[in-house]
Amino acid sequence: MDRFDAMAVLLTCLEEGSLSAGARRLRSPLPTVSRKVADLEAHLRTRLVVRTSRRLELTDAGRDYVAAARRIIEQLQEAEQAAAGEYREPRGELSVTLPVSFGEEFALPVVVEFLKAHPEVDMRILFADRSVNLVEEQIHVALRIGLLEDPTLVATKVGLIRAVTCASPAFLERFGSPQRPEDLPKFDGITFKGFANLTWRYQRDGKPIVAEPRSRFASNSTGAAIKAALHGVGIARVPSIQIAEHLRSGALMPILEDYARPPVLVSLVYPDQGMIPLKLRAFLNYMAPRLRAVLG
């Protein structure tokens, strides 16, 4: 059995969603494709996929194996092309995940410039205000806000962001302002269900305090939360960089500043995979200094 060929067949079938679709893409008979996947499972002595009537589903062992197989094949292809002198420039598809509002406003312009500088790279971007599983969702690199808790990921620091509790002047004039975090439950709030490090956490004399207002408006988008705050819906807690202009103009007023926690880390993170593909290395080298400039 050619293990590299069997790996490639399995990955193609997973990308297409089924053995039959994979066979059509590979222009190979379905029995041949099915046998190669079965032989690979027999060699590993474990089930990698569950064949349902609609699509292939990975088992737990399959998810780990497929993640490793993707890295191996990608690195092998890149090493072969480099050894043959086929290219010295990054090429191929690069998948990236970015926070929605922050990504669109601050990271996307840099991504566009990266694509102009590297015409052989194609980009696939997932905008999501959640912690995406990079391996399961086949993502090469993510822009993350907060401490890195996954030891299988490698992080490149690009800056810091402070979470600011704020409200519109009209809201504060009508309802008053909380004097301490414990007052927040008495007020209407705009809650953002995204990164855990941007939830309502404060500190007093170095000790943590967790307190939230009554959720009048809930969203998984910081952009929506900011707009709601500007319209006086309630108190919001959002990244400082995204409301800097509103703070300068007075459209939003910071509150509870005496209880603010230290800024949180912003990083580019990617799975620990040994040799970094050229396209990913080029992306990190291009994005990191430019994002540091954006974040100050």
Stretches in the chain below the pLDDT threshold 70:
52-54, 77-88, 193-198, 273-275
According to CATH, the topology of domain 3-83 is: Arc Repressor Mutant, subunit A (1.10.10)
Tokens at 287, concatenated: 């994005």
Rounded CA-CA distance 229/112 in Å is: 30
Q: Looking at the structure, give the CATH architecture of the domain made up of residues 92-158+266-295.
A: 3-Layer(aba) Sandwich (3.40)
The amino acid sitting at 150 is D
Q: pLDDT tens digits, residue range 125-148?
A: 999 877 888 877 889 999 998 777
Cα pseudo-dihedral 135, 242, 212, 146, rounded to 10:
30
Q: What is the pLDDT of residue 14?
A: 86
Structural tokens at position 178: 């909380």
pLDDT confidence of residue 196? 40
Q: What pLDDT is recorded for position 84?
A: 56
pLDDT at 87: 56
**What is the DSSP code (8-state) at residue 252?**
S
CB-based contacts of 214, cutoff 8 Å, min separation 6: 185, 186, 187, 188, 189
Are 94 and 123 in contact by the 8 Å Cβ rule? The answer is yes
Domain-wise residue ranges, the chain: 3-83, 92-158+266-295, 163-262
Identity at 100, one-letter amino acid code: V
User: What is the bridge-based pairing of β-strands 153-161 and 201-204?
Assistant: unpaired
Q: How many CA atoms lie within 13 A of 233 on its CB side?
A: 19
What is the rounded distance in angstroms from the CA atom of residue 163 to the CA atom of residue 197? Answer: 9
* Residue 46, phi-psi category: left (phi > 0), alpha (psi -120 to 50), beta (remainder): beta
What contacts 122, CB < 8 A, 6 or more positions away?
92, 93, 94
Pairing of strands 188-192, 235-239: parallel
Task: Give the model's pLDDT for residue 119.
Answer: 92
- Spatial CA neighbour of 142 closest among 233, 55, 268: 268
Domains 92-158+266-295 and 163-262 share a fold: yes
CATH class of 163-262: alpha beta
Task: Supply the pLDDT for residue 85.
Answer: 53
Q: Residue 293: its pLDDT value, please?
A: 92
